[in-house]
């Protein structure tokens, strides 16, 4: 009887220990709980259906910043409350500019980034150390009003996840003044800090001036965010050519979704032409190179010692019409010119936007039609 009692006691003790161990192992990490709560806060304070850019998390650890951004993005996608700007669009600029998401971003730059992507809200934040704890702040900035839509603050214990992520600290502190902080590109990416040596100044250009490649300057955005300020157009047309030379009906679905990055309001603004062309060329490469496509002709174009020409976006093309053609500059024809802005990514007829230089009318039509092409470049 004593042995039976002893065995029963041991059995229940093991069950209790097992339950404790299971509870401990399943206990959520404080950082993950805080990120989830921040996502719920954003869901409650940002109008449903809004388009958001999850831009940056300022911290001393690039790994921590990217972890929080990825988790916030994953939550937003899975919650289906907002439309989230694809990280691939930001990553393209990150590769070009060698930036990190853990730097400080000025509010004015953040607003321009939001407008660039056609977003209604910019999500940013910061994580700082408080003795043996961390302070996390997540903020939503309204792009239209420049007002803070909401801010979530929480103290986080030094749990296993944040401790591991903080081991990979950035070199130097990210808590610097805006004048010394990393600058931000127009696609939402932080460019490396500039050298203390004075940078060479870009000469001032006026509309109609000759640009570095020998083209005609037709747009000045007034700042160098994103590594460029001006747009210049080549001196002569290419084509006529089709936007695409084959029906997209046979394209794999993932390629059609890639087309969507150049679609409608996403692919229309000034500054989007270069990225539209890059996305279109990704589709082209998967279809044998896109020989004869409008974007491909611009992508391989070389003039004035430069090979960074691209097919302009719808708004960029409209500025060429107003600032060059209507002034009698650029040797344009009173005909229709292709933009890089697409209209529809259905399985049927594929359409893209063009501008008719005869009257300035903007319209979309079958992408297989022949139209004129004028390459442009940023500088």
How many of the other CB atoms lie within 10 Å of CB of 103? Answer: 24
DSSP state of 260: G
Question: Does the pTM exceed 0.75?
Answer: no
Structural domains of the chain sorted by starting position, each given as residue range(s) with its CATH number in brackets: 30-191 (3.40.50.10610), 216-378 (no CATH)
Please give the radius of gyration of the chain, using alpha carbons only, rounded to the nearest integer. Answer: 26
Element (H, E) at 366: strand 361-366
State which H helix or E strand residue 297 sits in: helix 294-299
CA pseudo-torsion sign 256, 257, 263, 268: negative
Residues facing 180 on adjacent strands: none
Phi first, then psi: give them for residue 360, nearest 5 degrees.
80, 5
Three-state DSSP at 246 gives coil
Instruction: Give the DSSP H or E segment for 284.
Output: helix 273-286
- Write down how long the chain is: 379
pLDDT in tens for each of the 379 residues of the chain?
A: 545 445 555 455 555 544 444 444 444 578 999 999 999 999 999 999 999 999 889 998 888 998 999 999 989 999 999 999 887 776 665 554 445 567 777 787 788 778 877 889 999 999 998 888 999 999 999 998 889 999 999 999 988 888 888 876 654 333 333 333 333 333 333 333 333 334 445 568 999 999 999 999 999 998 887 788 999 999 999 989 999 887 666 666 666 676 777 887 778 999 999 989 998 998 888 777 788 899 999 999 999 999 999 999 999 999 999 999 999 999 999 999 999 998 865 545 678 999 999 999 999 988 889 999 999 999 9
């Amino acid at each position: 009887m004593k042995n039976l009692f002893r065995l029963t006691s041991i059995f229940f003790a093991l069950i209790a220990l097992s339950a404790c161990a299971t509870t401990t192992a399943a206990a959520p990490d404080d950082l993950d709980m805080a990120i989830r709560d921040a996502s719920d806060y954003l869901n409650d304070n940002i109008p449903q259906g809004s388009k958001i850019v999850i831009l940056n998390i300022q911290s001393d650890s690039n790994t921590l910043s990217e972890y929080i951004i990825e988790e916030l993005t994953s939550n937003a996608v899975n919650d289906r409350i907002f439309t989230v700007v694809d990280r691939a669009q930001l990553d393209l600029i990150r590769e070009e500019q060698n930036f990190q998401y853990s730097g400080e971003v000025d509010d004015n730059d953040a607003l321009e980034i939001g407008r660039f992507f056609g977003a209604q809200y910019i999500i940013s934040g910061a994580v700082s150390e408080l003795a043996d704890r961390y302070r996390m702040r997540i903020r939503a900035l309204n792009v239209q009003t420049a007002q803070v839509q909401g801010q979530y603050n929480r103290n986080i214990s030094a749990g296993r996840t944040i401790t591991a992520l903080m081991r990979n600290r950035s070199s130097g502190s990210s808590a610097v003044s805006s004048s010394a902080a990393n600058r931000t590109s127009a696609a939402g990416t932080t460019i490396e800090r500039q050298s203390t040596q004075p940078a060479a100044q870009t000469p001032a250009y006026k509309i109609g001036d000759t640009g570095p490649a020998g083209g005609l300057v037709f747009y000045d955005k007034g700042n160098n965010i994103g590594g460029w300020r001006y747009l210049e157009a080549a001196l002569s047309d290419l084509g006529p050519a089709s936007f695409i030379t084959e029906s997209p009906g046979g394209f794999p679905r993932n390629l059609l979704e890639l087309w969507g990055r150049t679609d409608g309001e996403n692919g229309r603004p000034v500054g989007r032409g270069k990225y539209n062309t890059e996305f279109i060329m990704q589709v082209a490469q998967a279809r044998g190179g896109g020989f004869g496509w409008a974007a491909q002709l611009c992508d391989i174009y070389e003039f004035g010692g430069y090979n960074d020409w691209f097919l302009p976006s719808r708004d960029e093309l409209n500025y060429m019409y107003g600032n060059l053609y209507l002034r009698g500059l650029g040797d344009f024809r009173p005909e229709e010119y292709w933009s890089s802005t697409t209209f529809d990514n259905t399985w049927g007829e594929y359409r893209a936007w063009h501008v008719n230089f005869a009257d300035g009318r903007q319209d979309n039509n079958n992408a297989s039609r022949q139209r004129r092409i004028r390459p442009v470049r940023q500088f």
